Amino acid sequence: MGATAVGIIYSPWGKQSGAHINPAVTLTFYRLGRVPGTDALFYTLAQFAGGVAGVVLAAAVLGSALAHPNIGYAATVPGRWGVATALGAEIAIPFLMMLTILIVSNGKSARWTGLWAGSLVALYIAFEDPLSGMSMNPARTFGSALPGGMWTAIWIYFLGPIAGMLLAAQAFLALRGRHAARCAKLHHQNDRRCIFCMDRQTCEALASGAAA
């Protein structure tokens, strides 16, 4: 999962789009004023559509194996410690993820943002998964819940990631100021056209690392 996240962020499509894949990420950059409202809406719709399409495709390839009780369409549900623990975890891990992304992507090590994000995903899968299933992504949870019909405490997986990442945005603003977040791309230092930067000069400076 960590390697998949890194691959998406550094892929040609990820370099172009910003590699959000998560509605909570898009909403956070919208809050920071780095994604226009219309783009945020259609990014979010695309993320949910992609989440469902991924599970449907996996079901077509794997057949009944994906519905096996031990797999259950890879649904995210609270662990044995209950709803409160799962909610706390689903707020904490997106908070740390987004705060890390914002700090790294707006600093001198911006090109390594994808590796930081992928490493955190790997750690979360290894250590946090028993608490909440490690969703951190409303579209990922919805993608499994819809085909599998598993809606157990699904509100956690909407409220938690969005709240956690928005809290991270507020913490970042308090630490760095309202203009510190420069772009919504998770990996900006590449040769792909930026769809977020307002002017070419800013875009070129970010791509070269001169604005770090």
Tens digits of residue pLDDT in 135-187: 999 999 999 999 888 899 999 999 999 999 999 999 999 988 766 777 888 88
Give the model's pLDDT for residue 107: 83
What pLDDT score does 208 carry? 54
pLDDT at 206: 53
User: CB within 8 A of 20, min separation 6: which ones?
Assistant: 26, 29, 43, 47, 184, 186
User: Whole-angstrom Cα distance, residue 27 to residue 163?
Assistant: 10
Q: What is the pTM of this model?
A: 0.89
Domain limits of the chain? 2-208
Question: Given this model, what pLDDT does residue 211 score?
Answer: 47
- How far is the C-alpha of 79 from the C-alpha of 20, rounded, in Å? 27
Q: For residue 80, count CB atoms less than 10 angstroms from its CB and return exposed for 0-12, middle for 13-18, buried for 19 or more.
A: exposed
For the ranges 63-67, 142-146, 197-201, the maximum mean pLDDT occurs at: 142-146
- CATH number, domain 2-208, options 1.20.1080.10, 2.40.50.660, 3.30.1490.100, 1.10.357.10: 1.20.1080.10
- For the chain, first and last CA: distance in Å? 29
pLDDT category, 201, cuts 50, 70, 90? low
